[in-house]
Structure 1
Amino acid sequence: MVSTNGAVTQNDDDLAAVATVFQAIQGHWLTACLGVLMDLKIPEILASQESPIQFKQLAKLAGVSDAGLDHFYKVLRVCGQWSLLDESREGRHFSANSATRQLVRGKDATLGHFVDHQINKPKWDAWKMLPEAVRSGAVPFALAHGGLDMHQYDEVKGNEAFAEDFQQAMTYFTKLSLRGGEVSLKDAFDWSSAKCIMDVGGGRGECLSHCMLHAGPGCRGVLMDRPWVLDSVDMKGTFEAKGVHDAAKRLSFVSAEVREPFPAAVREAGVDTIVMKHFLSGFSDADADIILKHCKAVLPPVGKILLMQTLVPEAGDRDHNVCKDGVAPGLFSIEILAMCPGGGWRTLSEWKAMFAKHGYGLEDVKAVGANMSLMCWGLTQN
């Protein structure tokens, strides 16, 4: 649309290019509006209504003052235009739709919890530091928060709500990642070969519970994470409810700093299969190498590492930028980079190079669910 001499030209290709840029610009604005919906608990209010509600009544329920009514309506209107909720054709009456109901936060982890984790002040502040971080190689979150990366920040007293948002978000994302798709987690691996599965950085056990269920009643499990996370595991709701019976007898909790050698309890448990779902991607190549070294040290020669990750498309591939559920792997890689030292989702070739340094080759890879791949790694020479 702009020629080399600065004159403005017009053709379809130029307009398409301009539209691409405007899409990137405006995405930030819509995210901010979604943050307003969540802060005012609009999804919960609308989901509780039996019929469309007039926006002034909705404002009263949400605690919006009369002075804010005009702003409030315009935010609701644009959210309706982008299908986050519905506005009646006669105008200024709003109701919940499928997207709104996905955002309702209850006891169980939902998309609303994931949104809360992504759209909060600590993370907004981190994004502001991205240009400086790109120039210097620093972590944006740490630049914004006195040198603390996201996982150091959530250990600080007073930041418990931030830490809880993260755990709820990861539980939801595990559920989402295992949902739908051409291949189920059950069919993606021969689980009968697994006698003791360890989930490294497994949070509250959502992924491990599925793995143990598929492996059968003789399978034992080891859940490795930080102490406060392990203390919050709902054994009955997460394991027993899925059919992992006698979970308390079959499951061990191990608190560990993954960049240190794994505790002796891991080797004593007889772990033969290690699962890591969207975990190793939170670390730099150097730290991921250390973690893989520790994994290798506790596995038998025939042991397997199951890496569950959403793969970033290889260079030049624009056909896989967005997964079936809307997850954009390349953008998620930047999100992790912004919060964790050196972290980021990777391409398959990058994972192959990393595992090869430790003697592991890719034995199989299957698309699982709507956004994830299960990669099975084994030693190339036992």
Structure 2
Amino acid sequence: MHPPTLPLHTQLLQMASGYWLSQCLYAAAKLAIADHLRTGEKHCDDLARLTETDVTALYRVLRALASVGVFQETSAATFTLTPLAEFLRSDHPRSMRGTVVMLGEPQHYEAWSDILHSVRTGESAFEHRYGQGIFEYFGSHPEAAAIFEEAMNSFSKNEEPEILTHYDFSSFTTIVDVGGGYGELLGSILAKYPTLKGILFDEDYVVDHAAPTLMRHGVGDRCQRIGGSFFETIPAGGDAYLLKHIIHDWGDEQAIAILKNCRAVLPDNGKILVCEMVVPEGNQPSGAKMLDINMLVMCPGGKERTAAEFETLLAAAGLQLTRIVRTTEEICVIEACKA
């Protein structure tokens, strides 16, 4: 039997009130409820004591989440993990906790409250509200920067198995991960290919904290960490330049500048590997179409792109699109070489 279809007005109401659910998820993730439940069910009194929260309010949030399959109330005010809630554990191999926290933090959530500014002007709502770009903001707000990098690690943990399964890195000798954060993806690649070397390139305030991730993957001795801006110069020495969720942060002019800087140090037989979602044509549902709106709100000029838009962008940087390697997730590897 198929579940009953909700009336159209109820479906619309659920869409409009979606932030009620996302903020409940944020509260549970921020309070590490799933971590507290990893050893088994707990009464709400115990959870409230562990999280220093109001027991009645916490119960109401967990009851609401249990109603959509996140946690389960096993007896009066006693909760346990569900398969869905497991992904809120910080130690889950594909944990989404970092992402859920980032999306609920004030600097992200409040920027979305100004979406009309973005729609009316085409400008970043984040920049309008905070008076600076998001990456400038991170440079002076280390706690927010750490939350962002943890979220990017969270994305990597879910996307890296797909990238590693569908793309063969064995022909390369040195991979430069441009804007590679703490090195979650690069660390996984180097771990799978023990003859490969890596260069992790990002802002100083990022790479200064990357050593634990690289050591966890056991690749610290094969990976250099270099700080700098990809708008100024990019380290030479690689035959593959990897950019995961970098190009979508920027408008065409800035994205072309980044790609040109990669091309400037790319050997003739080298490859540029842009890892992004590709927006499909037509009306079909796509996470890329919603992420595109997030880029509109959060990043000046940021956007997701179609395959044709990527081909045009790469050509403007003196590169030729060679193929798009798709995965079972929405992340793709967009491969390019010198034109």
TM > 0.5 between the two? yes
Instruction: Encode CA deviations 1:304-348: one digit per residue, 9 max, x unaligned.
Output: 10111122222x141x52xxxxxx221122222222111122222
Aligned to 2:291, which of 324, 332, 335? 332
Structure 2 length as normaliser, TM-score? 0.89
Matched to 1:172, the amino acid is S
Instruction: Encode CA deviations 1:206-264: one digit per residue, 9 max, x unaligned.
Output: 222233345541x33221101121111226x535x5464xx42x4322222111233xx
Label 1:379 to 1:202 Cα distance change in 2 as closer, same or farther (>3 A).
Answer: same
Matched to 1:290, the amino acid is A
Label 1:243 to 1:122 Cα distance change in 2 as closer, same or farther (>3 A).
Answer: closer
Label 1:16 to 1:98 Cα distance change in 2 as closer, same or farther (>3 A).
Answer: same
**SS of equivalent residue, structure 2 residue 155:** helix
Residue 47 of structure 2 corresponds to residue 58 of structure 1: yes
Aligned-partner Cα distance in 1 for 2:53–2:209: 35
Displacement after TM superposition at 1:361 (Å) = 2.4
For structure 2, list consecutive stretches of 5 or more residues without a partner in the other structure. Answer: none
Residue 213 of structure 2 corresponds to residue 274 of structure 1: no
Instruction: Encode CA deviations 1:91-136: one digit per residue, 9 max, x unaligned.
Output: 4321122222321235988311221111111112111111012212
Displacement after TM superposition at 1:45 (Å) = 2.3
Aligned to 1:36, which of 13, 23, 27? 27
Label 1:204 to 1:54 Cα distance change in 2 as closer, same or farther (>3 A).
Answer: closer
Residue 338 of structure 2 corresponds to residue 379 of structure 1: yes
Quote the residue 1:8 is aligned against: none
CA contact (8 A) 1:204 1:234 kept: yes
**SS of equivalent residue, structure 2 residue 139:** coil
Displacement after TM superposition at 1:176 (Å) = 0.5
Displacement after TM superposition at 1:137 (Å) = 2.3
Quote the residue 1:137 is aligned against: 122
Quote the residue 2:227 is aligned against: 255
Aligned-partner Cα distance in 2 for 1:216–1:53: 44
Aligned-partner Cα distance in 1 for 2:12–2:217: 46
CA contact (8 A) 2:97 2:154 kept: no
Label 1:40 to 1:222 Cα distance change in 2 as closer, same or farther (>3 A).
Answer: closer
Label 1:162 to 1:109 Cα distance change in 2 as closer, same or farther (>3 A).
Answer: farther
Aligned-partner Cα distance in 1 for 2:294–2:101: 14
Displacement after TM superposition at 1:151 (Å) = 1.1
Residue 72 of structure 2 corresponds to residue 86 of structure 1: yes
Structure 1 length as normaliser, TM-score? 0.80
Map of 1:29-178 to 2, 5 A cutoff?
Answer: 29-48=20-39, 50=40, 52-65=41-54, 69=56, 71-88=57-74, 90-105=75-90, 110-145=95-130, 147-156=131-140, 159-178=141-160
Displacement after TM superposition at 1:281 (Å) = 0.9
Quote the residue 1:194 is aligned against: 172
CA contact (8 A) 1:43 1:100 kept: yes
CA contact (8 A) 1:109 1:171 kept: no
Quote the residue 1:349 is aligned against: 308
Aligned-residue identity in percent: 27
Aligned to 1:26, which of 12, 17, 22? 17
Quote the residue 1:210 is aligned against: 188
Aligned-partner Cα distance in 1 for 2:99–2:80: 22
Regions of 4+ moved over 6 Å: none
**SS of equivalent residue, structure 1 residue 375:** strand
**SS of equivalent residue, structure 1 residue 376:** strand
Instruction: Encode CA deviations 1:143-199: one digit per residue, 9 max, x unaligned.
Output: 221x1122111111xx221111111111121111123x5xx525523x232122111
CA contact (8 A) 1:178 1:368 kept: no
Quote the residue 1:6 is aligned against: none
**Corresponding residue pairs, total:** 336
Label 1:255 to 1:134 Cα distance change in 2 as closer, same or farther (>3 A).
Answer: same
Aligned-partner Cα distance in 1 for 2:185–2:54: 44
Label 1:243 to 1:162 Cα distance change in 2 as closer, same or farther (>3 A).
Answer: closer
Residue 283 of structure 2 corresponds to residue 304 of structure 1: no
Map of 1:1-16 to 2, 5 A cutoff?
Answer: none
**SS of equivalent residue, structure 2 residue 17:** helix
Moved more, 305-314 or 253-262: 253-262
Aligned to 1:295, which of 262, 276, 289? 262
**SS of equivalent residue, structure 1 residue 287:** helix
Matched to 1:175, the amino acid is K
Aligned-partner Cα distance in 1 for 2:241–2:30: 38
For structure 1, list consecutive stretches of 5 or more residues without a partner in the other structure. Answer: 1-11, 322-327
Moved more, 207-216 or 169-178: 207-216
CA contact (8 A) 2:139 2:205 kept: no
Aligned-partner Cα distance in 1 for 2:110–2:227: 31
Aligned-partner Cα distance in 1 for 2:283–2:122: 26
